[in-house]
Structure 1
Amino acid sequence: MCHNPYSKETILMELKSTKQKSLPLSNIKNNQLVGLCNASTYEGVKAYFIINFREVEETYAIEAEKIKDFIENTDRKSIPIKWCRENGILIEQEKKKSRYRYNVDSFLLN
């Protein structure tokens, strides 16, 4: 959950990650879907599934209601990346090659 300072909305997110080019529906629990869809009915609240496709290094934000409609109106067992590209919002990302951790205790003790 986060607060959007630009629009003063509360944004609820359920994060999903897959190595495949589709997200199996078994990765979306019914209570997650129902909870997000119910929450999005409140004024000032938006609910999204954030789906990361690791192999192609693409991440999409898709409204919970769109995911619900997809599940109810298809007999597929997974959500393909093509559908996410057409119905989601691409989230820019940068893959870091290295990360640093600093020991500030030694600095502060001097």
Structure 2
Amino acid sequence: MKGGTTIVIATKDKKNRSSRNPGKVFEKEFYDSVPADEAVFSYRLKDDSLGFANVKNPCDFILYKNPNIYLLELKSHKGKSIPFGAIQPNQIESLYRHNKIKGIIAGFVFNYRDNNETYFVDAVTVYHFYHMGERKSFSLEWARDKGILIPQKLKRTRYQYDLCNLLKY
């Protein structure tokens, strides 16, 4: 078209947005890994990662398996460390406080994508390491030492996580 105007309409496909964000893919795969045949309640909190409406969730997931409730913040990162900046300070503080209540197990699930390793680390351990000020990230070696391995299995293109170790914590 000579001298004409071309209009391009760009739309965001919300249904496929998670497939582009590895962190959201990890959250979905984790949620899909909750055992269906056991008495486990699971709830994935709505995540407002842009901070609109001043929403500050303490975690991504709530799991309940008698007698404990689990408050879990999931973090997936490339490389051999997860920088402190990937976690909101309010999440570290609130999960630390919640973890002090009997029957609540609060913590972080760290997924090191490049190494295909995932660990649960309780909120108290994360809180103390974060506030020591000696480091600026949670290294894979640190997670191996302080955390509980969550076995994972690749099923074609997606992972399935064996949550048995976590639910026995």
Partner in structure 1 of residue 71 of structure 2: 12
1:47-99 CA-to-partner distances (Å, cap 9, x unmatched) read 01000001110000000110111112242111110000000000011111057
| Residue aligned with 2:142, SS | helix
Match of 2:91 in 1: 32
CA–CA distance in structure 2, aligned partners of residues 78 and 42 of structure 1: 27
Task: Indicate the residue corresponding to 1:2 in structure 2.
Answer: 63
Whichever residue aligns with residue 59 of structure 1, its letter is T
SS in 2 for 1:75: coil
Task: Give the number of the structure whose residues are more often helix, by fraction.
Answer: 2
Structure ranking higher on relative contact order (CA contacts 8 Å, 6+ apart): 1
SS at match of 2:138: strand
AA partner of residue 96 (structure 2): C
TM-score by length of 1: 0.83
**Runs of at least 5 residues in structure 2 that lack an aligned partner in the other structure:** 1-61, 159-169
Paired position in structure 1 for 2:103? 44
- Between Structure 1 and Structure 2, which shows a larger proportion of strand residues? 1
Measured on the aligned residues, the alpha-carbon RMSD in Å equals 1.2
Q: CA deviation at 1:22?
A: 0.3
Q: Which runs of 4+ in 1 moved over 2 A?
A: none
> Which residue, 105, 119, 126 being the options, matches 1:60?
119
How many matched pairs? 97
Aligned-partner Cα distance in 2 for 1:20–1:4: 32
**Is 2:131 the counterpart of 1:72?**
yes
1:84 maps onto 2:160 in alignment: no
Q: What amino acid maps onto 2:94 in structure 1?
A: G
Unmatched tracts of structure 1, length 5 or more: 100-110
Describe the shift of the 1:98–1:57 C-alpha distance in structure 2 as closer, same or farther (beyond 3 A).
closer
User: Who wins on radius of gyration, i.e. which is larger?
Assistant: 2
